[in-house]
Each structure stands twice: as structure tokens, then as C-alpha cells.
Amino acid sequence: MSERSQRRLPVPTPETQHFWDGTKRGELLLQRCTECDGVHFPPRPFCPACGHREVEAFAATGRGTLYSYVINHTPNPAFDGPYAIAVVQLDEGPRMMTNIVDCEQTPEALELDMPVEVSYLDASDEITLPLFRPAAPVEGPA
Amino acid sequence: MRADHIAVVGAAETTDLGKTPHISQLGMHADAALNALADAGLTIHDIDGVATAGERPTDIAHYLGIVPRWVDGTSVGGCSFMLHVRHAAAAIAAGLCTTVLITHAESGRSRVGTGRGGGGNRSSLPAQFEAPFGSMGPPTMFTIPVLRYMKDHGLTHEQLANVAVVQREWAGMNPRATFQDPITVDDVLDSRMIAYPFHLLECCLVTDGGGALILTAGERADDFAQPPVYVLGHGESVETPMVSQMEDFSSSRAFKVAGTDAFASSGITHADVDHLMVYDAFAHLPLYGLEDLGFCERGEAGDFVWEGNTRPGGSLPMNTNGGGLSYMHSGMYGMYALQESVRQMRGTAAAQVPGAEVSVALGVGGMFAASGCVVFTNQRPD
């Protein structure tokens, strides 16, 4: 696919490798502090809320809401026409940058606070990016 | 006068602004520095402290022939010069040096001698967790929080566009401004879409230029060629290198920390402020700045500007040089905000605010990553 080599892809570090290993197998990994239960992203091997040095990775639900975005109109060889660069609010608390796929890239279709769910893009042999697509709202446990 | 009261005794921009391919970035640092020295009536041998960002203090000191006893290379983006002023105040008060030169220049448009290039660090957190999603520089990143602000606080597209309209009014009074012709809200909304909801005229210019400041102890300030402009207070902070990780998409934590400390250290109230500069890389920044500094309640800045409070003749003249949207923006605009504050305090601005005695300059670094705030006055502090 044309996107495979066009995006600026990350080079993981020892502190982030588990996240990128997770997306490759279809898991969105966040980290939780074993002391204060705080959930954080991007990954780091300690808790930015309390400084505790023991954290555990866990698979997020992959669900969230569209928090904010812009629609870039400057041509980018990795994308076909104008595209949204978005931030999603994950159900577990952290926010992350992403793209919204399976959706018209227009202000009308990209409604703030709409439910989204993770959708993975194999961007290279090493890197799978977590993208998001519109999801049907669900009645979930609190 | 307190020991930490320092004064700006020299201030100047580069001889030329705009498109200047005949001079390198380093050359513009020197041009601005020599202009500021002439403004102060000093020579290079009077300078014993050097601060700069973009270039290293080593390069600036060597190129100009300065032997510094104090250097500051704090480089946190376009507000770095506000932080340099604050650090210089502490250094002069502590006796580490007596006379500090702060320089900025950037060949932002012509890219002569900028040394930029290469792929950069692909392992930084922004490179891993933001860059893969198609960002193409500040117009596609700095702007991301705004739709959230608009939905939560009711800011309209017209109000956002109006920020650029008001600043063009100021630029129309400034012969050095890049763009001086009046524009309307419709002109802004009809201009090319860059990154929805931002149109071309809601984004800053990209130009070449620079500026320099010379600071010394306030008690010495009467001995110089120019009327002294005292540094009354200051603040600084950083938040995050990733716009996606801001605590609050409707507010800059760094603005709030820097602004709170600047007001507290200067002892001023909002009613004391006659003139305000808020770094405007994009049209939303003055709105965030007005609210985070406490001039407006959250969500009210769009109305505040719409009602004319910041335009010529308004209650709080803001970005009176035309700002990054219309005056110039070489990449690290904070220096030009400081220059305009100094001109207003000297009474020499192109669009002078009559009788102004207190000016506040708020800078941003990166994309809501950092901030510095400086309070100036032309009245001798107690």
C-alpha cells in the first residue's frame, strides 16, 4: 500500500518497544502505576503522577471519543487528499494523537465527542500504527 | 530600587526585515546586536553576558568578539528571549555579570546559514507518538486544540478570524509591517484553507529578521542614551513537547504559571496594564493568552476582541506592531514582542499607545510547550 513507506515512522526505544510490539499483535497497551493506579501514555517505566518506579502494561479497550483535530489541506504524499490529524480521548483516561479512518475527512463527518475504536495499520514490517474509526455507541460498564 | 530590577538600555531589530537572502542567520544576529549597541551608546567591550537561542551563545560571542563571564543558551522555542530576560535579571542581581546582550535572528524565509536538515531524532516521544500521523509543522499541530476550545466555549469561526482583522488594523499603522492593507472577517474566511479550521490569514508570516536587547542594573540605567525601560517582573514555565498531551486543550499551563509569577513578582494588577503583547503564531494564541493571563474569564476572549478592546483606541491595546500575523515572524517571534514592548515604553512605537506606563509581553515556545512572560515599565521602580 502507498502508505507503507511514506509516513515518518518511529524508531522505538527500550522504554517504548512493548507498545509497538503490542500494536503489531493488535493490542493497545497503556501503563498503570502499581502504587497509585494512575494510567499514563506515552509509555515510560515509572509513574508521572507519583514517581513510583513500578508500572504494569495492560491492554486498553481501544475505545474512546474524538477529542479534537485539524484537517490538513497541504498535500502530503502519505495521504490521499485532505486528512484529519486527530486526538482521541481513550476510555482509560489518556489522550493520543492518531488519524480517523473509514470516515469522510470533513467537519460534518468528524463530529467531536463521537465514539471511536482502534483500527491498526501495518505501516512497515516493524511498525503498526494505532488509528481510530467511528464506532457505534455502546452501553458499557462504568 | 531592588537589586534585581534591571533595565533595557539597548534595543533594536535587524536593519531589514522580511526577505533578506543577502545576509545569513548569524549575520543577522550580529546586525541586530550592533544596532542595539549603537542604540545604547555601548561597544562590544562593554558586554560581559550573552544569551541567545537558535544559535549557540558560543557562536554569537565568538562572532561578535565578546568575552563573556555569563552565558545562557536556554532554547525552549520562540519565548526563549523572555526567559533570557528573567535569567539575566537574576544573574545581574547576583553579580555574575553587569551588561547582558540577548540576540535573536532567523533566516526563516530565505534559509541562509540555518544549518537545518537531516531527519532528526526519530525516537523522541513526539517523533514516535505524533509525527507518524501526518503532521506537517506548526500549522497542523499548534492548531489542534482549537476545535475543542470552540465546542466547549462557543468561540465562532468569525471570532477567530477577527483576531487577524484587528491585528491588521495595528499593522496598517506600522510602516515596517509586512502586510498593511486592511482586511475583513470575510477576507480571512475566504483565504485558503491551511488546516481546518485555520485559513491562511489566521497563520503567521514566515520572514527573515532578528532583534537584540541589552540589559543592565536598573540603578545604572539613567547613564545611557535611551530612556530606561525597567523590567518589573517575570515568569517562565514549560509543559509538554507534545500538543496531544496538554493538560487542557482550552488553556496553556505554561502561560498560567509564567503569567502568575510575572504579575506576582511585579506587584501589578490587571488594571495597571496599558499595553499587551501575546505571541501570535496563530489566531487562537491571543485568545488563550488573554484568558490564561486573567484579562478574561475562560471562553470570553473571543467576545473581548470582537468588542474592540484590543484594537486601536481600545481598553487593552494588544499586539500593536501587527503581530506575527501581519508584522513579521521569523520562527522565534518572542524577540519582536519584547522589542514592541520596549518601543511602547520608550514612547517610540509606530502605533504608540498614549501615556502607556506598563507593558506585558507573553511568549510561547514550541506548540504550547513553553512560556515566558515579562512586565516592563518606564516608571522608576521603588
Record: contact B144-A74, CB cut-off 8 A: no
Tens digits of residue pLDDT in B207-227? 999 999 999 999 999 889 899
Q: Which of A8, A70, A82 sits opposite B132 (nearest CB)?
A: A8
Contact call for residues B267 and B233 (beta carbons, < 8 A): yes
In tens, the pLDDT along B120-164 reads 788 899 999 999 999 999 999 999 999 999 999 999 999 999 999
Does residue A1 form part of some domain? no
Q: What pLDDT, on the 0 to 100 scale, is given for residue B369?
A: 97
Contact B140 A72 (CB under 8 A): yes
Give the residue numbers of B marked as catalytic.
279, 327
Which residue from B311, B306, B317, B303 is spatially nearest to B361, judged by alpha carbons? B317
Domain contains A66: yes
Q: According to the CATH classification, is domain B6-113+205-377 in 3.40.47.10? A: yes
Amino acid at B220: R
What percent of chain B is predicted at pLDDT more than 70?
A: 98
Question: Which among A95, A99, A112 has CB closest to B133?
Answer: A99
Q: What are A84-125's pLDDT values in tens digits?
A: 999 999 999 999 999 999 999 999 999 999 999 999 999 999
For B220-258, what is each residue's pLDDT tens digit? 998 898 999 999 999 999 999 999 999 999 999 999 999
Which of A73, A76, A78 lies closest to B193 in CB terms? Answer: A73
Residue B196 touches partner A, C-beta closer than 8 Å: yes
Q: Please report the pLDDT score of residue A3 as a whole number.
A: 46
Q: Where are the alpha helices (DSSP H) in B279-378?
A: 285-292, 301-306, 323-326, 334-346
- pLDDT digit string (tens) for B246-299? 999 999 999 999 999 999 999 999 999 999 999 999 999 999 999 999 999 999
What gap in Å lies between CA B328 and CA B21, rounded to an integer?
A: 16
Distance of CA B40 to the CA centre of its chain: 21
CA distance B105 to B181: 26
Decide if B131 and A10 are in contact by the 8 Å CB cutoff: yes
Per-residue confidence (pLDDT) for residue A136, from 0 to 100? 76
**HEC secondary structure over A3-49:** HHCCCCCCCCCCCCHHHHHHHHCCCCEEEEECCCCCEECCCCCCCCC
pLDDT tens by residue, B58-70: 999 999 999 999 9
Is A42 within 8 Å of B242 when comparing Cβ atoms? yes
How many structural domains is chain A composed of?
Answer: 1
pLDDT of residue B382: 79
Integer Cα distance of A127 and B150 in angstroms: 34
Least confident of B25-34, B78-87, B186-195, B282-291: B25-34
Cα-to-chain-centroid distance, residue B125:
26
Per-residue pLDDT of chain A (142 residues; tens, 9 = 90+): 444 558 999 999 999 999 999 999 999 999 999 999 999 999 999 999 999 999 999 999 999 999 999 999 999 999 999 999 999 999 999 999 999 999 999 999 999 999 999 999 999 999 999 999 999 766 655 5
What's the confidence (pLDDT) of residue A2? 40
Asked if pLDDT for residue B3 goes beyond 70, the answer is no
Q: Residue B119: its pLDDT value, please?
A: 59
Q: Where are the domains of chain B?
A: 6-113+205-377
> Which of residues 143 through 162 in chain B touch A, CB cutoff 8 A?
143-148, 151
Q: Taking the C-alpha atoms of B176, B178, B180 and B186 in order, what is their torsion angle to the nearest 10 degrees?
A: -160
pLDDT score for B111? 87
Contacts of A98 in chain B (CB under 8 A): 133
> What 3-state DSSP class applies to A128?
strand
Question: Domain for residue A39, yes or no?
Answer: yes
Residue A59 lies in a domain: yes
- Please give the residue of chain A at the shortest CA–CA distance from B250: A68
Q: CA gyration radius for chain B?
A: 19
pLDDT, position B116: 54
Query: pLDDT-derived band of residue B112, with 50, 70 and 90 as boundaries?
Result: confident
Q: What is the mean pLDDT of chain B?
A: 95
Task: Decide if A85 is inside a domain.
Answer: yes
What is the residue range of A34's domain?
Answer: 12-134
